């Protein structure tokens, strides 16, 4: 198993452009999490899904951010329009049975730079 797969690994874009980050969770995992990592704020949960349904999106910074999970094997995090302060590493993670009862497995992350 390749683990959680994220693409792209690096993204450089200009302010105002739309950015889409992609994630493929581990097969059979029911939970998917999106995190953002910055020097100032550390690792923050943005949103998580259970069985493709968003459960908690209270960490999503603002309306410019949106996340979808159209099926059990794919999720996207979209930023539109992007701003320089969105520059960060974005991680996707999945777990078999929830943040409480099971280990979260992280992807390699997408390093986003917004110029």
Partner 1 sequence: AQRVTQPEKLLSVFKGAPVELKCNYSYSGSPELFWYVQYSRQRLQLLLRHISRESIKGFTADLNKGETSFHLKKPFAQEEDSAMYYCALITQGGSEKLVFGKGTKLTVNP
Query: Which 3-state string (H, E, C) describes the chain?
Result: CCCCEEECCEEEECCCCCEEEEEECCCCCCEEEEEEEECCCEEEEEEEEECCEEEECCCCCCCCEEEEEEECCEEEEEECCCCHHHCEEEEEEEECCCCCCCCCEECCCEEEEEC
State yes or no: residue 70 binds partner 1 (CB under 8 A). no
Stretch that binds partner 1, among 12-20, 21-29, 63-71, 98-106 (CB under 8 A): 98-106
By C-beta, is 19 or 109 nearer to partner 1? 109
Choosing from 5, 55, 72, 96, the residue that interacts with partner 1 (CB under 8 A) is 55
Stretch that binds partner 1, among 41-49, 60-68, 69-77, 80-88 (CB under 8 A): 41-49
Choosing from 69, 107, 112, 114, the residue that interacts with partner 1 (CB under 8 A) is 107
Residues that bind partner 1 (CB under 8 A): 3-4, 33, 41-45, 48, 55-56, 91, 93, 98-100, 103-109
């Amino acid at each position: 198993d390749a683990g959680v797969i994220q693409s792209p690994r690096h993204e450089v874009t200009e302010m105002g452009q739309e950015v889409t980050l992609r994630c493929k969770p581990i097969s059979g995992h029911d939970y998917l999490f999106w995190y953002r990592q910055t020097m100032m704020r550390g690792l923050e949960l943005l949103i998580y899904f259970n069985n493709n349904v968003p459960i908690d999106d209270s960490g999503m910074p603002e309306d410019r951010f949106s996340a979808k999970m159209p099926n059990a094997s794919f999720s996207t995090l979209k930023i539109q329009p992007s701003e320089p302060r969105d520059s960060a590493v974005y991680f996707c993670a999945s777990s078999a049975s929830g943040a409480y009862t099971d280990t979260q497995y992280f992807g390699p992350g997408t390093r986003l730079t917004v110029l």
